[in-house]
Structures are given as structure tokens and as C-alpha cells.
Amino acid sequence: MTQPHCLRCKTVPLNASESPREIQFFECPSCRRYALEKGRALTFRWLHPVTLALYGVIFKEKPGESAQQIARQFRKQRSPEELEWIVNEIRLELNDPTQQVRDTLDCRASEEELRQFLQLFCDYLEPTSQHD
């Protein structure tokens, strides 16, 4: 296997980190952590903002219906600085896709449905949001 490179930095080789047998973990020396399951492409590792947002809709067929509720939970549990980071990271992925977000947590919904959910989720979290 060739050494994977950071999906954001593009040219930076990833460092392998301690991993269980069924999945490989990698870290970019400058920005993000990744996971690689056998037979899949590289994805963000758990605790990345994309995975945090998608966790609440793993088993939902129509995740968009839960976007406002999940955004409200995040707003109650996170600082404004954390929310800004979460929204920025998710919007970065939405505007410049690097992976199938569906694969980050084996979500049931389609890639398109999940990306729509992430867009709505960010819209509800924006400071100027009038949805709450």
C-alpha cells in the first residue's frame, strides 16, 4: 500500500498511529486525523466535526429532518468558539469535498441526503440564524 496523503493538505504524507486490527488510523502532522477501513477510502476519524454532526443521524433515512434539533443540542453543549470551528470544518468539506461523508460512520442515508443535512445543520448553527 502506498502511503496516504492528507485529504486537505494534498501533498503531506500521513503518519500512521496506533490502530486496532480492523482499521488503520493516520494523522496529518499539521491538521487532521483520519481512518482507513479495509476496502474503503480514507475518511475523517471520529471526533472530527463532520463525524460529530453525523453521529445523531447514523440510522436515519431522512437526516435533514433532524438538523435543527441536533443544531440546538450543539448550541446548548458547545462554546461559541467550538461552534465556529465545527461550522467552518463542515463547510470546508461541503465546499471542497474530499471523501464520502457517508463512510465516516456507516450512515444509512445517501451521500446527498447527508450533505444536505450538514448544510442545514450549519445554517442552523450560524450566529445570524433566525431558525431558533
| pLDDT single digits (tens) 31-80 | 999 999 988 899 999 999 999 999 999 999 999 999 999 999 999 999 99
Grid-cell match 445523531, residue found: 56
pLDDT, residue 128, reads 60
Helices 80-95 and 67-77 cross at an angle (nearest 10°) of 140
pLDDT, residue 2, reads 77
Terminal Cα distance for the chain, rounded: 48
Is there a contact between 4 and 34 (Cβ–Cβ < 8 Å)? yes
Instruction: Tell whether the model's pLDDT for residue 126 goes beyond 90.
Output: no
Least confident of 24-28, 43-47, 87-91, 127-131: 127-131
HSE (CB half, 13 Å, CA atoms) of 29? 5
